[in-house]
């Protein structure tokens, strides 16, 4: 209980200070609700639009989960290939860096053009943004094995597959978990960005589409509520992945 309180109290206290400062600034500078609404107005809007926000958050969560799962699987496969050949790694790794440096907002319209508007394009954008952390962290773990351990496996006539799955992959678990934590947060960002461009339509829409729609109509309290919901969604996904990852690392440490 003490550890939980020590972990939770600082961010909660900072959030309370932030809300109080926000409320004081609105009163002091007499900001209009369509520019910066007060925390009370945002909370009221959040409660009134809870069904719409929950439905949009569910669609965004589905896109983020699909994008994260795809980036995790594909990133791990690419890292496994990179770990088997330094030549392949030197030839292809710069293109993996390209995924991290390319302005996704610029290529998102191309993705929509090629794949069509809707859920699939949103998942593709989320996948592209979340892929690089998996590749770089998994590759680092797979290639940082102690050389003496590799030689020990080779002396005992271990095959390349045995070295990969019984030595390199277990050694990469902490790095892979770190990459998954980063990628899980980025997947939500990628999904929201994808929804900015791809959308879903007026009947079914995610938080990204809701943010664009309320921003264009100067419905600022709803915009704040949508941004707050997307932040909570990202935090929830990150905490879930971090919790599962920490359990896996703890078991890995015990078995090691």
pLDDT in tens, 207-249: 888 898 888 888 899 999 999 999 999 999 998 998 898 888 8
Least confident of 18-32, 56-70, 74-88, 157-171: 157-171
Nearest to 223 by CA among 206, 203, 200, 207: 207
Residue 172's contacts (CB-CB under 8 Å, 6 or more residues apart) are 79, 138, 140, 141, 142, 144
Least confident of 25-29, 66-70, 85-89, 250-254: 250-254
- 54 found inside a domain: yes
- Whole-model pTM: value is 0.87
Nearest to 26 by CA among 42, 14, 39: 39
- Rounded CA gap, 169 and 171, in Å? 5
- 165 found inside a domain: yes
Could you give the number of structural domains in the chain? 1
- 4 found inside a domain: no
- 15 found inside a domain: no
pLDDT tens-place string over residues 183-205: 999 999 989 988 888 766 556 78
- 247 found inside a domain: yes
- 22 found inside a domain: no
pLDDT of the residue at 4: 63
Domain of residue 251, residue span: 39-255
- 34 found inside a domain: no
pLDDT of the residue at 158: 82
- 220 found inside a domain: yes
Residue 117's contacts (CB-CB under 8 Å, 6 or more residues apart) are 198, 199, 200
- Rounded CA gap, 164 and 85, in Å? 12
pLDDT of the residue at 199: 66
Q: At residue 254, does pLDDT exceed 80?
A: no
CATH code of the domain covering residue 115 = 1.10.3720.10
- Rounded CA gap, 109 and 154, in Å? 50
Average pLDDT for the chain? 87
């Amino acid at each position: 209980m003490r550890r939980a309180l020590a972990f939770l109290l600082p961010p909660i206290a900072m959030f309370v200070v932030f809300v109080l400062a926000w409320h004081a600034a609105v009163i002091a500078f007499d900001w209009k609700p369509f520019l910066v609404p007060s925390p009370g107005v945002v909370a009221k809007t959040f409660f009134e639009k809870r069904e719409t926000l929950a439905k949009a958050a569910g669609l965004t969560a589905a896109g983020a989960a699909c994008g994260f799962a795809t980036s995790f699987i594909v990133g791990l496969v690419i890292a496994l290939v990179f770990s088997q050949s330094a030549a392949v790694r030197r030839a292809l790794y710069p293109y993996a860096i390209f995924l991290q440096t390319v302005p996704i907002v610029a290529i998102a319209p191309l993705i929509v053009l090629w794949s069509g508007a809707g859920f699939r394009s949103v998942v593709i954008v989320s996948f592209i943004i979340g892929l690089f952390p998996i590749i770089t962290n998994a590759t680092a773990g797979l290639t940082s094995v102690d050389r003496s351990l590799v030689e020990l496996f080779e002396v005992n006539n271990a095959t390349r597959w045995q070295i990969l799955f019984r030595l390199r992959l277990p050694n990469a678990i902490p790095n892979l978990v770190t990459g998954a934590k980063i990628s899980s947060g980025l997947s939500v960002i990628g999904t929201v960005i994808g929804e900015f461009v791809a959308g879903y339509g007026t009947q079914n829409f995610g938080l990204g589409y809701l943010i664009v729609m309320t921003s264009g109509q100067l419905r600022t309290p709803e915009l704040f509520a949508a941004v707050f919901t997307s932040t909570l969604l990202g935090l929830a996904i990150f905490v879930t992945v971090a919790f599962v990852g920490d359990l896996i690392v703890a078991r890995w440490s015990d078995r090691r």
